[in-house]
Chains A and B, each alone.
Chain A
Amino acid sequence: MPVRIPCIWIPHPRLGRRYCSLAAAPPRPPPIGIANISGPRQIIEIHGRDAAKFLQGLTTRDIPMLSDSRGAYSAFLNAQGKVLYDVFIYPTNHNHRWRTQVEAKNFQPIGRPPIKKGPAVDDPGFFIECDVRSADALLSHIRRYKLSSKFDSRIIPRGEWDMWTIWDDHRLLLPDPNEIGCTDTRAPNLGKRVAVFGGRKLGVEVDFTVYNVRRILLGVPEGQDEILNGGNIAQESNMDYMGGVDFRKGCYVGQELTIRTHHTGVVRKRVLPIQLYRSGDPAPERLTYDPNLNLAPLLHGKDPNISNLSGKRRPAGKFLRGVGNIGLALCRLEVMTNLEVGGKREDKTVPEFKLDAEGDELRVKAFVPGWHMLGNATAFRRAPITASEID
């Protein structure tokens, strides 16, 4: 039976602060887990002759590089290069359930009035997985740019196809060749994502809030609360490290700023996992999740700006979302971590930081995930090493 834990993660306006602060934080994520994430995520289907070409012009990943069960993490940007929607894109043509569904729609019974046929089953089809709250906006974004492209687009209702995530702390998980999904490449061992037809269950599931805890511990932002619509460039949400941007593909919306920042710019802010602690307690050495220390609800409705203890200088970061005693924040790297950004840095000590909270203020410490040190994860194409290889 699924573990249902009420928490601030549920995107519901009626769940106020009082309700949340009374509830316990979700338990620690198990080393192996399965979660149905159709609550916070939604699938948009686009299918038709021009679907692949259309997505190629609008998203950050190279669509012809996707195949069968190898979907991709990607994003829709605006013309100024800011991230609008973080998505996963999965090709669907290889899946027999999807094909059966399309063929049933296009079936013409003999002797009946002719039906209006949709795109053929071999025309490129894709599932676009996005935040449930931005699904309507993304669909109208797609329709705005559609013009005379030939494809159909629709929101897939929950229960028709559901998104599931499966993880194993010690193993790289690959989807089966006939599944619609992909390995979640955003951070090492994040698991895989699979679209499941007809409300079938994959096994003993944990609540999606547990998946969110694990994701935050790994420092992976997702959805409109953590990747603010039109607020930041792809690099600031770690999309370059998470493999969400192909820096070798041609023009797409927002490419100019993204690629210029990649080659010549400096990324001064990034989303990092943070730990919250009370002012009397010692600063944590390692990022550790404690479900019994439910501090995040105290921050609800307060100023999200993280400031130096003196509080005089400009904000060191912006708190995005929290659960229990951990969270994600957009941090100015030179202030909140010991990293060197752009120039040489003498003083590498990091002071303590605070956030306004109900009753008291809370201390904040940012951690740089190990996978940030691996750099840009454009894993699917090897860069030429020497000049002779380029020839």
Chain B
Amino acid sequence: MGNVRTARLSTSMPARAAIVMNPRTDQSGSLMKIDISQRAVKRLKEIQLKDSNANLALRITVESGGCHGFKYTISLSDTFDEEEDTVFEEGGAKVVMDEPSLGLLKDSTIDYTTELIGSQFKIVNNPHATSSCGCGTSFDIKSL
């Protein structure tokens, strides 16, 4: 499957990630999914290689705070909580989220952006975000 994905022309084209642990459904009963862009996959694989830890995953947590109510915190993690965490995998790269965070980030894309001020993982195209602040780490959502 990984071979098919790498054959894509655009490297930033997102792909729907496979759920390898704790698939969860939202209130309407549909499966909560995310996309991981090829750039993000590439970068995550590099990090795994550098730390020689194939279990290393990108942990994305949503906390309250920031100027718009919710903010993302992104960290690396190689331990998963059996109860709370949902793990996504795309081409060997893993992304892990707890349930409340996934509820707010479902159908978003995890991307790795390279800009003049620095390169970073970013959550883009969150369909539930209504507004976000200047720095882009804080956002508001439609009322649940």
Name the residue of chain B whose CB is nearest to the CB of A50. B63
Chain B window 71-89, contacts with chain A (Cβ cutoff 8 Å), 1 for yes, 0 for no: 1000000000000100000
Beta-carbon contact of B63 and A149 below 8 Å:
yes
Beta-carbon contact of B131 and A79 below 8 Å:
yes
Beta-carbon contact of B70 and A145 below 8 Å:
yes
Chain A window 43-86, contacts with chain B (Cβ cutoff 8 Å), 1 for yes, 0 for no: 00000000001101110000000000000000000111000000
Give the Cβ gap from B49 to chain A, nearest Cβ, in Å: 30
Beta-carbon contact of B65 and A148 below 8 Å:
no
A residues within 8 A CB of B65?
Answer: 53, 56-58, 251-253
Does B57 belong to the interface (CB within 8 Å)? Answer: no
Give the contacts of A243-299 with B (CB-CB under 8 A): 251-256
Does B107 belong to the interface (CB within 8 Å)? Answer: no
A331-B104 Cα distance, complex, nearest whole Å:
40
A54-B101 Cα distance, complex, nearest whole Å:
15
B residues within 8 A CB of A54?
Answer: 64
A252-B138 Cα distance, complex, nearest whole Å:
10
B residues within 8 A CB of A254?
Answer: 67
Q: From DSSP, what is the main secondary structure of chain B's interface residues?
A: mixed
Give the Cβ gap from A56 to chain B, nearest Cβ, in Å: 7
Cβ-defined partner of A256 (8 Å) among B64, B70, B133, B143: B133
State which size class the interface on A falls in. 20 to 34
Beta-carbon contact of A146 and B69 below 8 Å:
no
Give the Cβ gap from A111 to chain B, nearest Cβ, in Å: 29
Give the Cβ gap from B137 to chain A, nearest Cβ, in Å: 9
Chain B window 132-144, contacts with chain A (Cβ cutoff 8 Å), 1 for yes, 0 for no: 0110001010011
A residues within 8 A CB of B131?
Answer: 79-80
Beta-carbon contact of A251 and B64 below 8 Å:
no
Known: A147-B101, A148-B98, A148-B101. A79 touches B62 (CB 8 A): no
Chain A window 197-237, contacts with chain B (Cβ cutoff 8 Å), 1 for yes, 0 for no: 00000000000000000000000000000000000000000
Beta-carbon contact of B62 and A253 below 8 Å:
no
Does A14 belong to the interface (CB within 8 Å)? Answer: no
Known: A79-B140, A148-B61. A253 touches B98 (CB 8 A): no
B residues within 8 A CB of A252?
Answer: 65, 67
A54-B98 Cα distance, complex, nearest whole Å:
18
Listed by A's residue number, 21 A-B pairs whose Cβ atoms lie within 8 Å are A57-B64, A57-B71, A58-B69, A79-B67, A79-B131, A80-B131, A147-B63, A147-B64, A147-B70, A147-B100, A148-B84, A148-B100, A148-B101, A149-B63, A251-B65, A251-B67, A251-B71, A252-B65, A253-B64, A254-B67, A256-B134
Interface of B toward A, CB cutoff 8 Å: 61-71, 84, 98-101, 104, 131, 133-134, 138, 140, 143-144
Interface of A toward B, CB cutoff 8 Å: 53-54, 56-58, 78-80, 144-149, 251-256
Q: A79-B67, A147-B64, A255-B67 are in contact. List 14 more A-B contacts (CB 8 A).
A: A54-B64, A58-B64, A78-B69, A80-B131, A145-B70, A148-B63, A148-B84, A148-B99, A149-B63, A252-B65, A253-B64, A253-B66, A253-B68, A254-B67
